[in-house]
Amino acid sequence: MGTLRPTSVGGGVHEGETKDCFPQEAQCQKDLDAGALFVLKSKGTWVHCGYHLTTSIVAPPLLSLPYAFTFLGFWAGILCLVIGALVSFYSYNLISLVLEHHAQLGHRHLRFRDMAHDILGPRWGRYFVGPIQFMVCYGAVVACTLLGGQCMKAIYVLSNPDGTMKLYEFIIIFGCLMLILAQIPSFHSLRHINMISLVLCLLYSACATAGSIYIGYSSKGPKKDYTLTGNTESRIYGIFNAIAIIATTYGNGIIPEIQATLAPPVKGKMFKGLCVCYVVVIVTFFSVAISGYWAFGNQSESLILSNFVVNGNPLVPKWFFLMTNIFTILQLSAVGVVYLQPTNEVLENTFGDPKSKELSPRNVIPRAISRSFSVVIATTIAAMLPFFGDINSLIGAFGFMPLDFILPVVFFNLTFKPSKRSSLFWLNTTIAVAFSIMAVIAAVAAVRQISLDANTYRLFANV
């Protein structure tokens, strides 16, 4: 069962409740499955929600924004960043309003697939939204593990240029860290880790910005060239590749699950959390994108930190480069654990027993085994496929765009049924159509890039 009454959340008397609510609350708790009961605990505040949102959106992939600018140029890149911020903030608010509406009607949705089941029909929830969300979130876990291993290797190579350790070994080390964090029982339990994650994303973004400005003003950096390279076909595909990168950077895919962590009543809390998140988004996204592209122009790498090292020699102080990578690695572990939550919820629903206590042996043992197995698989995929970034672009086109830009406006129109003569209806329809077209083109561009890079793919490659 994936929905519950607005007051059916454990954890004491909340705002707007009285002790009279407890009998109904206890009955509704019995109706919840193990995934909703143990992983999606509804105990958080809007501040905790802000932490979760920031960790899920403001992640190290933002360090690829200067690379996206190499396909767009400065002003088009800025325009795409602004549009991405406005549309994503708008879409996340719409999906939050739909969730609040159903909660007020007595059916609080705790998962994305629950919304799709009730609004679009059971087949959409089971065969479209559920699988796509799982693919996107688990793909994000694999990508975080791979990127974490790459950052660890960068530190190792700088400290020991003649070292013999391979990339897959660092991926395994990062996977061991994820293995420990994955055992944290519920999404709500991550609130303190995600608070630290918010600080970390500000720190490494500040470091990336300061490093870019330092190199840009020094004689160490490359000669600045902002021209768009390649023939007409490459430029066109590059534009849509850049749009996919920016859309994926703004992507979330777990808004309902984050809102499910809020203690009732939920009205208005998600908006406050989004405001916290988007203050951080504006500060980090724009500073890294603008400074990185200004410093390196069309030579910006897919990860801007790669531009800080040339032929094994750092262009910034060595301690500064190491510190930036450490901040990035630590936040990647938090991001990976956040995107594990939909997988954890499915595993808990499958193997957990809602009638037993959360920390009873009946639930702890299956939880530890299943979550460990899940992390081991993600780590193995990351080690085997160090070119996973190409595949992740395809996943982003098929996943983040539908979940974050198309479905929210569709859900809103179907739920509130605005007049077809109203500007709101046509704004939502335009967003859905435009991003549907972009998702298809971005997927084609991702497939093209995979085919171009296919001859360089090697299992367990030391890239």
For 154, other C-beta atoms within 10 Å of its C-beta total: 23
Lowest mean pLDDT among 1-10, 174-183, 231-240, 254-263: 1-10
CB 79 within 8 A of CB 384: no
DSSP reduced 3-state for 150: helix
Which tokens hold the place of 418? 């605005």
pLDDT tens readout for residues 116-129: 999 998 888 888 89
Report CA-CA distances (Å) from 29 to 3, 41, 307: 11, 11, 52
| Domain 3-455 = CATH 1.10.8 | no
What values do phi and psi take at 274, rounded to 5? -65, -35
What is the length of the chain? 463
pLDDT tens readout for residues 384-429: 877 766 676 777 778 888 999 999 999 999 999 999 989 999 999 9
CB 43 within 8 A of CB 188: yes
Average pLDDT, the chain: 87
Which tokens hold the place of 281? 């988004």
Per-residue model confidence (pLDDT) at position 409 = 95
Show me where the domains of the chain are located.
Answer: 3-455
Beta-carbon contacts of residue 288 (< 8 Å; ≥ 6 apart): 62, 63, 65, 66, 205, 208, 209, 212, 304
Per-residue model confidence (pLDDT) at position 319 = 93
Report CA-CA distances (Å) from 446 to 287, 303, 324, 384: 27, 18, 29, 20
Per-residue model confidence (pLDDT) at position 41 = 87
- Local confidence band at 11 (pLDDT 50, 70, 90 cut-offs): very low
Number of Cα atoms under 13 Å in the Cβ half of residue 430? 7
More confident residue, 223 or 95: 95
CB 50 within 8 A of CB 15: no
